Amino acid sequence: MSTSPLLSVDDLAIHYRTGAGPVQAVDGVSFSLAPGEALGLVGESGCGKTTAAKAMLRLLPPNGEVPRGRIDFAGRDLLGLDPEAMRRVRWDEIAWISQAAMNALDPVYTVGEQILEAMSAHRKIERKAAWAHAEQLFRDVGIDPGRLSAYPHEMSGGMKQRAVIAMALALDPQLIVADEPTTALDVVTQAQILSRLTKLRRERGLALMFITHDISVVVQTCDRVAVMYGGQIMETGPVREVFASPFHPYTMGLTNAFPTLEGAQRELISIPGSPPDLLDPPSGCRFAERCPFATQRCMSETPLLVDVGEGRHAACHYPEQAVDFRQRAARNDTWQIAGERLGEQVQGAGSLERRMSETPILEVEGLKKYFPVEQGFLDGLRGKHKERKVHAVDDIDFDLREGEILGLAGESGSGKTTTGEMLVRLQDVTAGEIRFDGVNIAALKGPELKAFRRSAQMIFQDPYQTLNPRFTIHDIVAEPLIIHRLAEGEALEQRVVESLERAGLKPASAYQERFPHELSGGQRQRVAIARGIILEPRFMVADEPVSMLDVSIRAGVLNLMRRFRNELGISFVYVSHDLPTIRYVADRTAIMYLGEIVEVGPTDTLIRERKHPYTQLLLDASPEPDPAVVKPPLESAGEIPSAMEPPNGCHFHTRCPKAMAHCGWEGRDVATALSEWRIRGAEPQQLAGASVSGLNAQLALVDGADEAAARDELQAILSAKHPSLWQAARVEGREGNLSVQFAPQASPKRRLIAREHQVACYLYEEAVDSGG
């Protein structure tokens, strides 16, 4: 790796002009990036990381200005280039991968045409050569080249993000700037894309600037890191060294706020307060107000970014006390010092001990939820009256016990949110029973349903959408008591205060008369929790309650749930795709895939044993913030199939590395195998294409093809996807075609493989049946 920097940013300041004055989004930022190096720019919302990156490409909005600083790239100051010279730099030398691939692609052009447009704008290239280059780019990012003719809406979110990466690589740039490229994606898709991006970067010698709020992603993908806060850089250095032994208290807080999957279980830290107002930034250290170690000097004097080790810099007045600070920063009572200064309660978790109750309060049996899919107008005219439905939840059984937190984990589309909504009757049930204290709540109506809702509450994902903007905080929290006529007058006031203070909003008088827009995201989620607990429910469903919150305040909400479980005996169903978070809060965990529960058991056992191949995939894909853990890259794991037409047999067989011949292979898997063959760069010589009908596939032979040679090629293609796919196939030659037939297979049922531990997988069927 070259020592002379490819990119050098010096004393960069960026302001946004507003009616209230300039917002100092970036203030005196300096860093460098060597050729072929990956730099992570990490920080919470509003810290200035995306603004700093957009300045590299001169993509600031009209009200953005750069009052000072230099951005030197390959020997030129980008800020001094005229617009035409800057246009030639963009995409050709510096490429951009945006956060929302859905918005980066034009919906009225095919993806292939958009990649060709990017090439032709900068290079003179023949269409045939450009198309061949685009096909190779698609293979490089793991997409079938045939999908170049697809429109963006015909691709999944993960495929669109891969296409955007292919577009960024089209002109072989020296630097790629990736702004939260995997934030909107599932953990498995994220792991595959990060793995592919890292591989391509190393093969092509590209430099990468990776912008994210997630330190676990940076630890696994970057060489160096710059931690930003309040428009300034707090700390820089080699990524694993910075997070293993941080020098800045903010970095210490961040590392202690992330739950780990592999490391020892520890109480998570919640940093009190909010980032500073950059319209009027503080005069001293930007983090001083929230720092438990701050002194008067920190409040008045801005610390410089000083050398604290080989290749390491930190902006702290007291780097020599870092060892002592690290030990103290691992405890919530240390952060309470800053909490008292800010008038905010720092929420510890209480006991981290798991609870294994035997008494169920909720029993779910044979639960199903199907959503009908409306038929298109043209299909109706053509007489295609096919009844289609989404199998959101497909025959699941589980129980929730007194005083436990049950984790419900899985990718988007697995049915976990729909399950949670049915438990509190926000969705009607298609079939099955949900018994609460022995009564089937799926059949309740009117006053009986209203009475049940006193015992069951829900915390939603988005704290910005779940609170009425016209109500004060007092009215929001009091509303359930008024609806159920449980209190009035002074008794109502007392219960509102008690709920707010239990939820960590102390003193309640400081919040009651405020409106939701006056609170931070974390405070809004606490209001939603206070509203939920005011009825003293028996159980609550928490649907991804921290996914939209900044890292530093997530732990406070998670710790609050643990405290309510410990102190009030409330049971929780915690819905999330984030397994490290589930490991932190849940006593037992159920893993959902495509509407089914594939594994359930005590959380520690399930994570340690990981019996079902899907559980193994989820755990392998989860990024790990512990710098001592090096996870191997996840090369290829496919995407979750459509719930409209679930796969034959075990729903996971399409992505399972351990699949057997009787797991449910079918005709659609033949078409997928052909697509994957093309991604590897090999075009079938004997087979023209596949058409799928039911469980079977029909493959046309090319003109003059030999049937025996076509069978051999088909065997090679199917075996390359999985040896058991060829074993399951019955192949017959029919009039210039090969017919590939498969047997129908039932989905495996859950079986007990150890105490409290059940798995739905054919791998364990024989061991259990033989008395295992």
Looking at 184-198, 571-585, 715-729, which range is the least confident one? Answer: 184-198
The number of beta carbons lying within 10 Å of the beta carbon of residue 770 is 7
9 and 178 Cβ atoms separated by less than 8 Å: no
SS percent in the chain: helix, strand, coil, step 5: 40, 25, 40
State mean pLDDT over 697-726.
92
- Amino acid code (one letter) for 247: F
Helices 551-568 and 249-257: crossing angle, nearest 10°? 50
- Percent pLDDT > 70 in the chain is 95
Q: Would the pLDDT of 768 be above 60?
A: no
Q: Are strands 232-238 and 224-229 parallel, antiparallel or unpaired?
A: antiparallel
Q: Would the pLDDT of 769 be above 60?
A: no
Using the structure block, give the residue that is written with the tokens 């710098």: 627
Q: Which two tokens stand for residue 52?
A: 């700093």
Q: Which two tokens stand for residue 201?
A: 């970067």
- Whose CA is closest to 637, among 650, 652, 625, 648? 652
Taking the CA atoms of 709, 714, 715 and 717 in sequence, report the sign of the dihedral they define: positive
- Amino acid code (one letter) for 18: T
| DSSP collapsed to 3 states, 138-162 | HHHHCCCHHHHHCCHHHCCHHHHHH
Give residues with Cβ within 8 angstroms of 381, minimum separation 6: none
- Mean pLDDT, the chain, rounded, equals 89
Q: Produce one character per residue of 58-86: b if its CB has 16 or more CB atoms within 10 Å, e if not.
A: bebeeebebeebebbbeeeebbebeeeeb
Taking the CA atoms of 406, 409, 414 and 416 in sequence, report the sign of the dihedral they define: positive
Cα separation of 43 and 761, whole Å?
Answer: 41
pLDDT at residue 377 in the model: 62
Q: Show the CA angle centred on residue 537, arms to residues 531 and 543, nearest 5°.
A: 65
**pLDDT band at 770; cut points 50, 70, 90:** very low
Q: Where are the domains of the chain?
A: 246-342, 360-621, 665-741
Examine residue 516 and say whether the peptide bond preceding it is cis (omega within 30 degrees of 0). Answer: no
Give the architecture (CATH level 2) of 360-621: 3-Layer(aba) Sandwich (3.40)
pLDDT at residue 766 in the model: 53
689 and 699 Cβ atoms separated by less than 8 Å: yes
649 and 747 Cβ atoms separated by less than 8 Å: yes
State mean pLDDT over 9-21.
92
**What's the pTM value of the predicted model, to 2 decimals?**
0.90
Q: Show the CA angle centred on residue 660, arms to residues 370 and 639, nearest 5°.
A: 45
pLDDT at residue 3 in the model: 66
Residue 136 phi, psi dihedral angles, 5° rounding: -70, -35
Query: For residue range 502-529, what is the model confidence (pLDDT) as tens digits?
Result: 888 878 888 899 999 888 778 888 899 9
Helices 667-679 and 707-721: crossing angle, nearest 10°? 90
Q: Dmax over Cα atoms in the chain, in whole Å?
A: 90
Chain-centroid distance of CA 415 in Å reads 16
- Whose CA is closest to 176, among 38, 2, 30, 14? 38
**pLDDT band at 102; cut points 50, 70, 90:** low
Q: Would the pLDDT of 183 be above 80?
A: no
63 and 17 Cβ atoms separated by less than 8 Å: yes
pLDDT at residue 214 in the model: 87
**pLDDT band at 767; cut points 50, 70, 90:** very low
State mean pLDDT over 592-598.
95
pLDDT at residue 263 in the model: 67
Taking the CA atoms of 688, 691, 692 and 696 in sequence, report the sign of the dihedral they define: negative
Q: Which of 315-324, 554-563, 617-626, 696-705 has the highest mean pLDDT?
A: 315-324
- Whose CA is closest to 160, among 135, 174, 142? 142
Q: Which two tokens stand for residue 41?
A: 């720019």
